[in-house]
Chain A
Amino acid sequence: MTSLARLADAGFVTEAPTPAARAEAERAMIAKARRIAKIAAEHAADVDARSRFPQEAFDALKQERLLGIMVPAVQGGEEASLSTIAEICTALAQACASTGMIYAMHQIKASSLVVHCGDDPWHAGFMTRIAREQLLLASATTEGGGVGGDLRSSICGVIRDGDDFTLEKEGCLISYGAQADAILITSRRTPEAPPSDQVMSVLTKDQYRLERSHVWNTMGMRGTCSDNFSFAGRAPARQIIPTPFAEIAAQSMLPHAHLLWASVWYGIAAEAVARAEGFVRGEARKKPGSTPPGALRLAELLVRLQQFKGLIIAGLDRYERVRGDADELSSMGFVVAMNSIKVAASESVGEIVSQAFLICGIQGYRNDSPASLARLMRDALSAPIMINNDRILGNTSNLLAVYKHDPSLSR
Chain B
Amino acid sequence: MKTKIREILKTTGKLPGDVAALADDADLYNAGLTSFGTVELMMALEEAFDVEFPDTMMNRRNFASIAAIANAIQAIQSENV
Interface of A with B (CB < 8 Å)?
196, 326-328, 330-333, 398-399, 401-406
Contacts and interface: CB of A to CB of B under 8 A. Distances in A.
B80 to A, nearest CB: 15
Nearest to B44: A402
B36 A333 contact: no
Contacts of A402: 39, 42-43, 46, 53, 58
Interface residues of B, number: 18
Nearest to B36: A398
B12 to A, nearest CB: 12
B60 A330 contact: yes
Contacts, number: 45
Given A398-B36, A402-B53, A404-B52, A332 B58 contact: yes
A403 B56 CA distance: 10
B55 A406 contact: yes
Contacts of A401: 39-40, 42-43
Given A196-B34, A398-B36, A399-B39, A404 B55 contact: yes
Contacts of B42: 401-402
Contact of A326 (B55, B56, B60): B60
Given A326-B61, A327-B60, A398 B39 contact: yes
B59 interface: yes
27 contacts: A196-B34, A326-B60, A327-B59, A327-B60, A327-B62, A330-B59, A330-B60, A330-B61, A331-B55, A331-B58, A332-B55, A332-B58, A332-B59, A333-B58, A398-B39, A399-B39, A401-B42, A401-B43, A402-B42, A402-B43, A402-B53, A403-B55, A404-B54, A404-B55, A406-B54, A406-B55, A406-B56
